[in-house]
Structure 1
């Protein structure tokens, strides 16, 4: 018997992934919801053929805003909600664990953290960043996403969390050209996040409470990272991951992952921050105006 849980998946042109994602949850979730940003491929048709319920909402370049729109507007009737991205999926072991454990959790538990399994170029990446647990299951009405531009976490309004044993997988099947283009888009949102730490652009630092212990630890490390010199910090972070944390032991795929995600991407973020500061100095109003003019992001 399926537990009382719905899954919410954000999509835009995810034809390559959506079948795998839905099939991984179909024996676990009572309802499967897509919040689709008006895909132009057959994402919606494939999802509906597999029994998903599709709602569409305009994309505003913000994952947190789109996910919270789903929580506010989807006709969710289950006790629990699972958040998944389209290029993620439940492992069979996790699916069984959810079915067996979720109905028996005590009333004081409002969130469940799940271990993340990263797969890049067909290889599971286990070295460099350590184990990561993410709060992805929560009681409906007891949590929402932080309204951040990047690195957003699910936060509980009350209650405690538990950690399940088995993992969900993040495995994007697109080519590296797509991957680098996607991360170019991520870079401006990450730049906004780091500038927000420095200048409080968004005025919502109080939101950093009621996230999981691991998310809070990660956030503290990000604040420390934000204080380090531009460009040097991305190089140091790559060395930390690739040398000190053993990323070099994972072959060519490990090198590509840590170089691209740990150095190239974070250097690109610093390039965007440098450009913004060069044009605007430390004037918050000018920074916001520049980001809106150059990147069509209104803060």
Structure 2
């Protein structure tokens, strides 16, 4: 069994009692496992502790650093290298093996971070095709950081950093295997989250400098997509046809169409803000 001693795992939580145990069971190979919790009022903390995680509480003060950067600085990780995860994310078995190999030499590693592709569960199915999200989730805390952007007055995203990648003072590597984004919540919760996210994105569009600043901090795919006209239609063609989302059946269509509607929603909200 893989045993990882030189990389710490940090899981970010807030009222995650439903799926947290399933996530933590996939992380038992990490010698240093930390849950950074935001004052949960359910059983999140007790579940984390019962699975061997150290729990550190985070209370946002309305300013920077937000939760991810705060965790890198204050969670008390024993290692410089940190795998930073949401509560519904865990490494696939292939990624655990890859991390285990990397763990053997990582103290001499000159990179500052690693990008990892996600396998996404949507509407009960783990998708194998279509749009693929990339996250910079493996970070060396003294070489990588989440930038501070001027979005404290933006709606939609509050205590956790928005949809942009951490920066690095050193080279950025890429891992071959995938993180599993195991979203088992009802689809209605996906729509509720993306309703809030679209508020944030629409706000950004009202500030050209801020929008350009955040676009520069996204992946190369995000930077390219930022400049694409007719985003909803372009995304659907890309995800469903070019990336062959249709091979995932109805769930593949639903995922592509849901994100298409998300980009449409951003546009509608932006135009409303512009009129007012």
The TM-score bracket by the shorter chain reads: 0.7 to 0.9
**Greater helix proportion:** 1
Structure 2 counterpart SS, 1:25: coil
Runs of 4+ in 1 over 6 A off after TM superposition: 60-64
1:51 aligns with: 52
SS in 2 for 1:167: strand
Aligned equivalent of 2:213: 205
Where structure 2 has 5 or more consecutive residues not aligned to the other structure, the ranges are: 150-160
2 CA distance for matches of 1:220 and 1:56?
Answer: 34
Aligned counterparts, 1:176-195, within 5 A: 176-195=187-206
Instruction: Please give the alpha-carbon distance, in whole angstroms, between the structure 1 residues aligned to 2:215 and 2:127.
Output: 31
Unaligned runs of 5+ in 1: 280-299
Q: Which residue of structure 2 aligns with residue 120 of structure 1?
A: 122
CA distance in structure 2 between the partners assigned to 1:273 and 1:168 by the alignment: 32
Q: What's the RMSD between the two structures over aligned residues?
A: 2.6
Indicate how the Cα distance of structure 1 residues 193 and 126 shifts in structure 2: closer, same or farther if over 3 A, else same. Answer: farther
Task: Tell me the TM-score normalized by structure 1.
Answer: 0.78
Q: In 1, Cα distance between the equivalents of 2:13 and 2:66? A: 14
User: Is the 1:64–1:152 contact (alpha carbons within 8 Å) kept by the matching residues of 2?
Assistant: no
The match for 1:250 is 248
Tell me the alpha carbon deviations over residues 93-150 of structure 1, each in whole angstroms, 9 at most, x when there is no partner. Answer: 2112211222224432232222321121232323332x55432112221111233563
Matched, 1:268 2:252: no
Residue pair 2:95, 2:179 contacting (<8 A) in 1 also: yes
- Aligned length, in residue pairs: 262
Greater C-alpha radius of gyration? 1
2:76 is the alignment partner of 1:75 = yes
* Residues in 2 aligned to 1:104 and 1:240: alpha-carbon distance in whole angstroms: 38
Please say if 1:220 is aligned against 2:223: yes
Where relative contact order (Cα < 8 A, 6+ residues apart) is larger, the structure is 2
